[in-house]
Structures are given as structure tokens and as C-alpha cells.
Structure 1
Amino acid sequence: MSVNLTISNKVATITLNRPQVHNAFDDITIIQLIDVITQACEQDVRALVLKSEGRHFSAGADLGWMKSMADNDFDDNFADSQQLAKLMHTLANCPMPTICQIQGAAFGGALGLIACCDIAFASPDAKFCLSEVKLGLIPAVISPYVIKAIGERQSRRYFLTAEIFKADKALELGLIHEISDELETSVNDAINNILNNSPKAVIAAKELIQDVANKEINQTLQDLTAERIASIRVSVEGQEGLSAFFEKRAPNWQQ
């Protein structure tokens, strides 16, 4: 398997396992990623971690696979690209929080995986590149997610120059959230923070971001947000969380 899935203590960990090609992904890896992400989303898990074996997070698309696709016609390439689009959509729409752990190189389509995750941690030696135009291509399928992460203005630079940038720049751009010398510790700390929170509230908060981001603040949006808070206040976990706070005890999801 190019991709491994493990579930422990309500945390799903998906690991890219092609270190011999710097965890580059081909059509088989993409299908496997879709399958394991879907499996994880159907389990009783509270968080999902995406990581890689070896020195590098991912070199993006496998060069051998891209070479073979260059010999195919438009219809075959379109169908192939739709699978990559499905992968990005599946990861971006996981109901539970998703955390990306990045070391070494993250090039091309790998930035799509990072941008689709809710939280991203990178090692100080991490390097990033939207390298597609160097190969006569464009970062088309990943573009909605990368542009949402770093903004249109910054995308105008990095989509067009294909320059390599370091972890500190990725942090400045908003592609990652933190640079850490202890990646596993930082990821585990984030997981523990998530596990201390109300499971249903975390899912609802993620849905809220997706439904509110970039929307015009009008009466419709005001009504939607008012309805969301009213509904969760009267929910079982909402009532438990408020009771626990006022009674100075741990809520039952921490027990």
C-alpha cells in the first residue's frame, strides 16, 4: 500500500508511504487516499492526521505517472484530473478536524493537501513550491484550496514564479500555522486540545466556518448564525458544557 491508515484513541492517522519517490502520488496513491480518508470519516474518530514517511512530505505528482498521462488524450486526462479533484474535495470536507504534518519538501499538488487540512505544522527545514509552470502545467485542481489559504494576491506571485519558499514564508502566507522543531509534539498538543472540546461543537464549528467564510454580512447570514448558536445551546452537549462550567467540573466528554 502507498497509503496507510491507523486509528487509535479516536484519532485517524493517514501516512503516505512512498519514501523511495519522496511520497509523490500517482493514480493508485490518489485512489488509496480517497478510500482511506472516506473510511476515516465514517469511523468514530475525533481528528485526522495526514503525514508522510521519510525525509519529505511529498514531491507532488509522480513524474513517471505524469509522463504516461502525457501520452493520453484529453478525455483520459480529464477523468484522471477529476480523481485528483475528488481527493482534494474529500479531504477538505472531512467533518472532523484535519491536521497536516510537513517535513522536507512539499511541492506541486502537495500544497493542495496542506491547504485542504484545517491545521498545518511544518518543520524548520520544510520547503514549498507551486512548481507546475516549470513543467508547462498549471496548479488547476488545487487552486481553489491554495488560493483560499494564501489569498489571490500571493497566489499571483507563487503560481507564476514557481519559486521555492521556506517554512517562515509559508507561515507568513498562512499556508501553515506553526513551525516546530518537535513536529510530533506539536501535532499531539493540537490533538489533545481538540479532544478536550465538545465533539459535536467541534464539528459544528468547522461547518460554521465553511458556511460563513467570504459571505456577505446580511440578514440571511445573521439569521443563520443566530440559528446555529440557539440550536447548539439547547443540544445535549451544549447543556452539558454549560452545566460543567458553572458546576466547576469536567464535561462528560473529557471523562
Structure 2
Amino acid sequence: MTETIRIEVDARGVATLTLARPDKHNAMNAAMIADLTEAAVRLGRDPAVRVVVLTGEGRSFCAGGDLGWMKDQMQADAETRAREARSLAEMLGALDRMPKPLIGRVQGQSFGGGVGLMSVCDVAIGVAGAKMGLTEVRLGLIPATIGPYVVARMGAANARRVFFSGRVFAAEEAVALGLLAHTVSADDLDAAIEAEIAPYLSAAPGAVAAGKALVADLAAPLDEAQVSLSIDALVARWEGDEAAEGIGAFFDKRKARWAESGAGG
């Protein structure tokens, strides 16, 4: 266990990977990004692990990027910004390529990078009524490094509905968008996750890994050019005036200059 995540593996080989910053709504900082990358590699290589469940501790699944971490990027040099953006992209890639089924147990709200984490899961089940959104544009940013995975999960047509509006939507709409397989009540969430786990425990682990790899090969592959494009796009926004204004407004507890009075969330 680290300060940002917790890993528990039961006797069946089911690993639960828990985001463990509940006081920060499980927002991702540099330490959590590094810990998740290491966990994805370690769990992927562990022959005793059959299935991985990704969830969050507390009321939120993941609130996205930690605002303190984002603020640090505003003050960093270009090389540091690019390195931090690449670390986020590599973490998502490690989870996406992990040769074990990855099941998202989305027990609460999820924004920004949290939606990216949902998008790299093979299947995700969410609690009915949970709020979600790609809200980066409210801060003058864009969902850049998560973008390839979000668009792959939603499809371009659905992504156009929520990718650059910053609109908050409910878990039920996330089903229609393709982010969630379905929603259940909080009381039924664990049973729904168990129903997703059970078939894998009767399947040959090597065949499961090969099947997951084949799906990735048959789909439009995510190549280094796309990853680099997403990194460059994020760094460009971090360097812009809008990001400075948006993040500054958040910390100053005021509306950004572009936010209309009375605009809803």
C-alpha cells in the first residue's frame, strides 16, 4: 500500500485497486499517477491475479487532476510540463494494456481524469445518480491525455456531446454515452461487480489475455503519434492565458472571466 492507492488480492485472484485519497476526492497527483503506473505493471505480471477491480475510497470515484498538481504545472518549465503530461499518458496506457480484465467499480462522482480511468476499463458499472463530466474547459484546459481513450470508448459522435462543453451529466447518461455498461443502486453495486468477475474465474487466464490483446489489435490502434499529440495539446493549454485564469479563479474562489453569471453545473 502507498499513500495514494491500496491493493488487496483475495484467494480467488481478484485484485481490488483502490484510489485512496478520499479527502481529495481521489484526485490524481504526481504520486498517484506513478503509483497507478507501477500497480498496472505489477498486477499485469502477477500470475496469481485473474481480475482487477478499479474503485475509489469515499464518496468520489475520481475527481480528475489534483488542482495543486495542475497549479504546479503552470509554474513549471516546458520540459517539466511535458514530462508530467507524459507520465499521465503512460499511466493510462499501462492500465489500458494490462493483460488482465479491468472492471471499473464507479461508486461515486467522476470528473476529468476520472472519466479517463473509466474509459480504460474493460467494463465499468456505476452507481445510479452519480455525477460525471469532462469539466477541464471550465479551467481553460482540455481533456487531452485522456482524450484518445475517451473518444475510443464513446465514439466521436458521443464525445462531441460532452468533450468540450464541460457539461455535467448523470451516470444514466454515461450509459448512453458508452462509458458505463449499466447503473445500479449503491446497495447493489458489489453484487453487480461480482457478476462481472465470475465468468473470468472459469476462463483460461492466457486466453483472456490473448483475447484482450486481440481486441486492441483489431480496434484502431493508439499509436505514439496520438499520445504525443495529446501531450502537446495539454502542455499548450497549460502554457496559455486561459489556464492561468481558470486555475487562478478556482483558487481565488471566483468565476473565471468567461463564466456567465448564473451559469449552471
Give yes or no for TM over 0.5: yes
For 1:48 and 1:131, the matched residues in 2 are separated by 27
1:204 Cα offset (Å): 1.8
Question: Are positions 1:35 and 2:38 aligned together?
Answer: yes
Aligned length: 215
1:180 Cα offset (Å): 1.4
Aligned partner (choices 166, 185, 198) of residue 162 of structure 1: 166
Where do residues 61-210 of structure 1 align in structure 2 (5 Å cutoff)? Answer: 61-181=65-185, 182-210=188-216
Q: Where does residue 5 of structure 1 map in the other structure?
A: 7
1:214 Cα offset (Å): 4.3
1:157 Cα offset (Å): 2.4
Amino acid at match of 2:28: F
Q: Where does residue 21 of structure 1 map in the other structure?
A: 24
- TM-score relative to the length of structure 1: 0.82
Give the unaligned 5+ runs of structure 2. Answer: 222-265
Question: Are positions 1:50 and 2:51 aligned together?
Answer: no
Q: Deviations over 1:24-51 (max 9, x none)?
A: 0100111111111211111121111101
Where do residues 204-219 of structure 1 align in structure 2 (5 Å cutoff)? Answer: 204-214=210-220
| Alignment RMSD (CA, Å) | 1.2
In structure 2, the residue corresponding to 1:24 is in which secondary structure? coil
Q: Is the CA contact 1:103–1:125 (under 8 Å) kept in the aligned structure 2? A: no
For 1:200 and 1:65, the matched residues in 2 are separated by 38
Amino acid at match of 1:14: L
For 1:20 and 1:50, the matched residues in 2 are separated by 18
1:100 Cα offset (Å): 0.5
In structure 1, the residue corresponding to 2:15 is in which secondary structure? strand
1:125 Cα offset (Å): 2.3
Amino acid at match of 1:21: K
Amino acid at match of 1:3: I
In structure 2, the residue corresponding to 1:57 is in which secondary structure? strand
In structure 2, the residue corresponding to 1:161 is in which secondary structure? coil
1:159 Cα offset (Å): 1.4
For 1:154 and 1:178, the matched residues in 2 are separated by 17
For 1:210 and 1:66, the matched residues in 2 are separated by 31
- TM-score relative to the length of structure 2: 0.79
Give the unaligned 5+ runs of structure 1. Answer: 216-255
Q: Percent identity?
A: 38
Amino acid at match of 1:164: V
For 1:166 and 1:133, the matched residues in 2 are separated by 18
Larger radius of gyration: 1
1:16 Cα offset (Å): 0.5
For 1:199 and 1:4, the matched residues in 2 are separated by 24
Where do residues 212-251 of structure 1 align in structure 2 (5 Å cutoff)? Answer: 212-214=218-220
Q: Where does residue 235 of structure 2 map in the other structure?
A: none
Q: Is the CA contact 2:142–2:164 (under 8 Å) kept in the aligned structure 1? A: no
In structure 1, the residue corresponding to 2:138 is in which secondary structure? helix
